[in-house]
Structure 1
Amino acid sequence: MHSVLTSRAKYVKKKLLLYHIYVLVGLIFFYGCATPIPPTGGPADKQGPVILHTIPETGTTNFNEQTIEIQFNEFVNRSSLTNNITIEPDLGIDFETHWKRKKLTIEFEAPLPDSTTVIVTLGAKISDTRNNKMGVPTTIAVSTGNEIDEGSIVGRLRSASNGKGIDGVKVLLYRSPIDLERPATYQAETDTGGVFRFKYLREGIYQALYVEDRNRNKIWDARESAQPFNRRFLDLKKGAADTLDVIYVPQVDTLAPGILGVGLFSTHRMRLRFDENIKVNDTVDITVNDTLGNTYSSAYPLYIPAADPFVLFAQSDSLLKEGVSYEVIIEGITDLAGNELDKNNAMFEGSSQEDTTLQRVIRVDSQVGLTPKQSLIVTYAAPIKERDIVDSLVIAEGEVTFTDWPAISINQNILTISPQKEWIEGVDYQFLVWNPATQRRQLYEPEIWDELELGSVEVAIADTNSSVQYQLSLSNEQVPVFRDTTFTGKVELTGLPPVAYKLVIYNDVNGNGKWDKGTVLPFVEPEPYYVQETVTVQTGFASEVILDFSKSPKRLRREEIPEPEIE
């Protein structure tokens, strides 16, 4: 009996051991097949995935396999691979992707064609499991022949608003015979610096285009934003490298703003609401008509709230009576891209509401500093009627305090404090401005820049053709300073406060008064353009900017370029 029990106990132990083994194997299988999850704890991971090696290596010749393996240094967010992997040129061969932990395998469903350079590009937006992107597109190239194509084309895209490189956008490259209605032969993606590179190219005639390609089909769509480069065609020799001019891409906003409605805060105070952020130009005109279309009253803008940049408060000169319908018509207001109002009128009802606006300081311009003849401008919430605003104003000029500063003017809701001819050189000024909302004075101490502290900017075009006219604008919204001029060869802008400025220069080739980015069809090259977001002016010095638009890569004359085949 004892032996029977012993045997039964051993049997039970074996069954339990097998059970635990099965459970362990099952857990290993489950976690091995599950979606990778990043580990928790430790310092934050901010680096995107990196390719450790590929099989075959890039540059391999006489490649006769149908698979390419890519080993990453970490787990990759597999869904990020969608739309971020391309095979070029178009081989007409389908492929599948397979994952095994950190290894990606690309498997072609048919043999690759002979004597062909095949390019696999992994886009910069491929990310790890923490959504850290690669940042730079990676190319793997192999050849099924004895040699690999080694031609290359490089270029850069910059923002026309600030000059910074634009990352993550597409550039299409067509090889002769060129048919813009068909998919491009190659596609490149800009890196974080706005640089794009086409590598492993055959010799031939090429045309490059910047496109939005929202459909991601590598086809130029005339309805999408697109730009040509300065050279329409490039004649790329075998194994040669070529560089395209930088092109500047403007902010694409052609949608005109419109007014959504009018609200009344009192019998005179209007709140105009628009469908996007706006700015008020010097030519602003606000008119209130009656229901017959006759002019009833004029109105003037008060301010745009910083928290609601799509709202404009305005003041009617005449009473807007309760129970009466009116129409407001607005001119001289645009969106931030400069598009004028599409819908510039709105109907509204008058009101008997008393004005309960809390009078207060909205903003003070020129807080950074003042030039010798520049005024300090204070914007209030409502038209200035309170004597306290003027009577409580105190200006300290060095050791002397003024409670009756003579150079003061009021226009609607704007208080302007001007110098008595000029602010005195070497003297510190303090402006104590009355704020009715707090019943206290607010202190402003702008720096006073005397003539010796002002600087200048000298801009020169290093071009043999000195008769070419260029448009120039120099601006700083905080000071505020805006200079706009036309020049040939060289120009010097003097009397500038020592701050940083945005500089824009372009050649208005077609004379339409604005910079044009060029068109694809018919081909018109972009007008010469340059923008620098920060040009620093130093006290008493001249900052020099020299531009050489002629130092672009050599542009072949028309007769030097073999005419490509265009379908």
Structure 2
Amino acid sequence: MFRRFMAFLFLFVAVNALWHCARRGSPSGGPKDISPPTLLRTEPDSMTTNFKASRIRLYFDEFIKLQDIQDQLIVSPPLKYQPEIKPQGGASKYVEFKFKDTLKENTTYTLNFGQSVQDNNEGNPSSFLTYVFSTGDYIDSLELSGAVRDAYKKKADEFISVMLYEIDTAYTDSTIFKKPPNYITNTLDSTVIFNLRNLKEGNYTLFALKDEAKNNVFDQNVDKIAFLQDTISLPTDSTYVLTLFKEVPNYSAVVPSFAAKNKIIFGFYGSLKDVSIAPITNLPDTVRTKILRDGDKDSLNYWLTPFEMDSIVFKVTNETLKVVDTFTVKSRKVGIDSLRLNPNQRGSLSFNEPFYIEANTPLTEIDTTKITMVDQDSLAIPYTAKLDTLENRVDLDFSIEPNQNYRMNFLPGAITDFFGETNDTLDYGLSTQSYADFGNLTFNLEEATYPVIVQLTDEQGKVFQEIIATEPQAFEFNNIEPATYLVRVIFDSNGNGKWDTGDYLEKRQPERISYYPDRIEIRANWEKIETFTIAD
């Protein structure tokens, strides 16, 4: 009996041990995988000459996935047709690339996968993986490098295409509008540095594009461009800096449409200077019209008193360019825009910003007898009110004092618009802080060329204050809200008081801008002095 018990006990222990050994469970931990996928081999081999394959495969030591392949993959020279790429939406131990193009003869091709090839579990990228082959007898080996900067912003955009065109008998200044380049690379999302590799000897022009359509040609209406003035002769040891800017588009009119029963929007590309709009359709004598620019947008609002009609035919004329367009605007079921008034400041009043009241419909009249302003002691405050018909607003000018409360009252009928509508009673309460709640900055420039425009901005480039100077001076920015700021210096070479962009066909670079290298922290009740020595 004892022996039978011991035999049973031994069997139980053995089975239990085997069961525990066979149990499946999650690992208890371990170091996180930070290793990128390793490329094992390629079919055909990279650096192949006399390449004739229609398919390429890259094999890895683990399962991989493709991330943002459309943005990350750069093929140089560009292909006319989008290749077929696998895997898409899944995992695989290889990347397959099928050509749909007929490849050029005697040409070296480079496929740069950027950081699109990642391991399937942790997403570790196989950074800047490249595959090179030649349809000729040898691999071109020359290189060109440089950097891209933005003409206006402190930080350049991501995914900038850098393009090299060979100067041959077919090349003209308009080629970039029509044909992809001979070579291309991309800054991707990690750096402003670019490197063009596997180039052949010759003379080239160098461009950069923020290529919104990803079609490898320049679309002036939407793309930023940078260009080098001089021809590049390869081989070269020089490095190049490209300055990216958005051109003022060439003039063109967009098909207008009714936005409201009393408003038609006419959109444009380019300058609106010397543009006129006139109806060809005979309008009833009772119909009144008015044209206003829509804020800082590239459009004009055509206001009209509503009437019953099916359509109106308009003639849009650019007097300077002698361009005439004809448009038919069909009526549609839309509401009507009624007068709405909004102050540009509410609550706390700025010492550095004017106070005004904007309107959504055209303003025609103000009655100052129906406007009153008092301080916290109910004493009347002297002010002037002016109707700005270009900006479509009422400007109010009065002395702004610290630690003060103001109350502004508009009785009905104080403001009248183009359609005869007037305001209801409006009452605005405004207050100011103490000067001690703000900081002051004195900014000095050394070795600068004048005239200049010095701007105090935030990280996104919004301008809080600016000072224009035609000769050396101390730039004093007062009553600044506590925050961190940037200082932008515009070298206003034509002296028109604003920054001017460039133009590729006119071979004109944008006006130069320099940023003070450090962020400037402004604290309450601080006086700060900074000096900026301008580099050549």
Equivalent position of 1:433 in the other structure: 408
2:83–2:99 Cα contact (<8 Å) kept = yes
Q: Indicate how the Cα distance of structure 1 residues 272 and 179 shifts in structure 2: closer, same or farther if over 3 A, else same.
A: closer
1:404, distance to aligned residue in structure 2 (A): 1.9
1:121, distance to aligned residue in structure 2 (A): 1.0
1:365–1:479 Cα contact (<8 Å) kept = no
The structure 2 residue matched to 1:273, chosen from 254, 257, 265, is 265
Note if 1:409 corresponds to 2:385.
Answer: yes
User: What do the CA deviations read for 1:105-155 (whole angstroms, capped 9, x no partner)?
Assistant: 45899xx99x998632125678999xx998986434589999994845132
Q: Which AA in structure 2 matches 1:530?
A: I
The whole-number CA distance in structure 1 between the counterparts of 2:270 and 2:368 is 32
User: What do the CA deviations read for 1:140-178 (whole angstroms, capped 9, x no partner)?
Assistant: 4589999994845132142x4534322223221246879
1:132-171 alignment to 2 at 5 Å? 138-140=129-131, 149=141, 151-158=143-150, 160-171=151-162
Equivalent position of 2:443 in the other structure: 457
User: What do the CA deviations read for 1:63-113 (whole angstroms, capped 9, x no partner)?
Assistant: 7898551549765469x6569645556999x9986657242145899xx99
The structure 2 residue matched to 1:248, chosen from 244, 250, 255, is 244
The whole-number CA distance in structure 2 between the counterparts of 1:414 and 1:217 is 43
The whole-number CA distance in structure 2 between the counterparts of 1:300 and 1:199 is 51
User: What do the CA deviations read for 1:340-388 (whole angstroms, capped 9, x no partner)?
Assistant: x987999999xxxxx9956x6412249765438x653334666676789
The whole-number CA distance in structure 2 between the counterparts of 1:519 and 1:278 is 15
Q: Indicate how the Cα distance of structure 1 residues 260 and 511 shifts in structure 2: closer, same or farther if over 3 A, else same.
A: closer
- TM-score, reference length from structure 2: 0.56
Q: Percent identity?
A: 10
Q: Indicate how the Cα distance of structure 1 residues 446 and 409 shifts in structure 2: closer, same or farther if over 3 A, else same.
A: same
1:489-500 alignment to 2 at 5 Å? 492-498=474-480, 500=485
The whole-number CA distance in structure 2 between the counterparts of 1:514 and 1:344 is 34
Note if 1:445 corresponds to 2:431.
Answer: yes
Q: Which AA in structure 2 matches 1:472?
A: I
The whole-number CA distance in structure 2 between the counterparts of 1:345 and 1:183 is 34
1:483, distance to aligned residue in structure 2 (A): 3.9
The whole-number CA distance in structure 2 between the counterparts of 1:253 and 1:222 is 6
Equivalent position of 1:25 in the other structure: none
Equivalent position of 2:17 in the other structure: none
The whole-number CA distance in structure 2 between the counterparts of 1:162 and 1:486 is 23
1:484, distance to aligned residue in structure 2 (A): 4.0
1:186, distance to aligned residue in structure 2 (A): 2.3
1:87–1:121 Cα contact (<8 Å) kept = yes
- TM-score, reference length from structure 1: 0.53
Q: Indicate how the Cα distance of structure 1 residues 383 and 507 shifts in structure 2: closer, same or farther if over 3 A, else same.
A: closer
User: What is the Cα-based RMSD across aligned positions, in Å?
Assistant: 6.7
Equivalent position of 1:190 in the other structure: 187
Q: Indicate how the Cα distance of structure 1 residues 209 and 124 shifts in structure 2: closer, same or farther if over 3 A, else same.
A: farther
Task: Identify which range, 173-182 or 140-149, moves more after superposition.
Answer: 140-149
Q: Which AA in structure 2 matches 1:498?
A: I
Q: Indicate how the Cα distance of structure 1 residues 451 and 221 shifts in structure 2: closer, same or farther if over 3 A, else same.
A: closer
1:237-386 alignment to 2 at 5 Å? 237=236, 242-250=238-246, 253-256=249-252, 260=256, 271=263, 273-275=265-267, 357=338, 361-365=341-345, 369-371=349-351, 375-379=354-358
Q: Indicate how the Cα distance of structure 1 residues 498 and 197 shifts in structure 2: closer, same or farther if over 3 A, else same.
A: same
Q: Which AA in structure 1 matches 2:355?
A: L
1:188, distance to aligned residue in structure 2 (A): 0.3
Q: RCO greater where, 1 or 2, for CA within 8 Å and sep 6 or more?
A: 1
Equivalent position of 1:563 in the other structure: none
The whole-number CA distance in structure 1 between the counterparts of 2:480 and 2:61 is 50
The whole-number CA distance in structure 2 between the counterparts of 1:313 and 1:363 is 24
User: What do the CA deviations read for 1:493-542 (whole angstroms, capped 9, x no partner)?
Assistant: 3355425577352464899997453537x8x4635522659975845334
Q: Indicate how the Cα distance of structure 1 residues 507 and 229 shifts in structure 2: closer, same or farther if over 3 A, else same.
A: farther
1:51–1:72 Cα contact (<8 Å) kept = no
Unaligned runs of 5+ in 2: 1-33, 413-422
The whole-number CA distance in structure 2 between the counterparts of 1:446 and 1:145 is 77
Alignment length (residue pairs): 445
Equivalent position of 1:122 in the other structure: 113
The whole-number CA distance in structure 2 between the counterparts of 1:361 and 1:394 is 21
Equivalent position of 2:9 in the other structure: none
2:500–2:510 Cα contact (<8 Å) kept = yes
